[in-house]
């Protein structure tokens, strides 16, 4: 599987993870770690965060234990700034704001958002109309829980296009993409972005025009 490279230095790499690629190898299929070790001719790589298998976009991998530890602390302390983009064909309950609540796992592996706030998932978002029945969501996760953005948009009555697990409309992929990641390492600030390159809606002229002439997610004031 082709894995586009966004950036590489002596401490870490950033790749644009394709859809359908697991974090770790399983069922005789090589995961992103093993494929990137081969791609960069490295003996070891370390995950610093995760993306769901059907989610694409910026993925940060550490080349050594020290960098992995430093980045792990940054994620834990919520010092890493991330933005995701998603598409939905449904009209949300509100066009922007914050989605907040505890997440509860069900037997089938899905999650649901509760009204309690004991250890809540927190997601800020803004949405924009792209075309009739197609809405772009820019999501800023404050916490980093499994399926957080997928559950948050479902709670808005706007499940992500292609997200069959959370009752999204059928499509050729899950339309969720890790667009931006920004962090500090060794007293230097890094910011990386990558646009999605898979999926008919993400590759549409409407979306490309929106991103090139109208708006950039990194310019949003939260």
Pairing verdict, β 111-113 and 103-105: antiparallel
Task: At 80, list the tokens.
Answer: 């890493």
Residue 176 and residue 150 in contact, taking contact as beta carbons nearer than 8 Å: yes
> Residue 40, SS3?
coil
Pairing verdict, β 134-141 and 121-131: antiparallel
125-149: burial string, b at 16+ Cβ within 10 Å, e else: bbbeebeeebbbbbbbbbeebebbb
Catalytic residue among 22, 52, 163, 219: 52
Active site residue 172: no
Q: Judge residue 105's burial from the number of C-beta atoms within 10 Å of its C-beta, 0-12 exposed, 13-18 middle, 19 or more buried.
A: exposed
Q: What is the largest CA-CA distance in the chain?
A: 49
47-78: burial string, b at 16+ Cβ within 10 Å, e else: bbbebbebbbbbbbbbbeeebbebbbebeeee
Catalytic annotation, residues: 52
């Amino acid at each position: 599987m082709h894995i586009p490279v966004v950036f590489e230095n002596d401490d870490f790499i950033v790749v644009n993870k394709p859809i359908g690629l697991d974090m770790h190898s399983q069922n005789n299929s090589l995961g992103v770690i093993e494929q990137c070790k081969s791609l960069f001719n490295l003996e070891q790589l370390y995950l610093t965060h995760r993306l769901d298998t059907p989610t694409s976009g910026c993925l940060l991998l550490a080349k050594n234990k020290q960098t992995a530890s430093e980045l792990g602390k940054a994620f834990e302390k919520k010092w890493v700034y991330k933005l995701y983009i998603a598409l939905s064909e449904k009209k949300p309950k509100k066009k922007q704001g914050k989605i907040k609540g505890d997440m509860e796992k069900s037997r089938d592996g899905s999650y649901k958002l509760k009204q309690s706030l004991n250890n809540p998932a927190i997601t800020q978002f803004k949405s924009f109309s792209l075309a009739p029945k197609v809405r772009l969501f820019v999501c800023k996760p404050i916490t980093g829980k499994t399926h957080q953005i997928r559950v948050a948009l479902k709670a808005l009555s706007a499940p992500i296009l292609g997200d069959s697990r959370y009752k999204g409309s059928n499509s050729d992929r899950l339309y969720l993409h890790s667009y931006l990641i920004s962090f500090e390492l060794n007293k230097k600030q890094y910011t990386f972005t990558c646009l999605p390159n898979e999926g008919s809606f993400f590759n549409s002229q409407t979306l490309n025009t929106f991103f090139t002439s109208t708006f950039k997610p990194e310019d949003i004031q939260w």
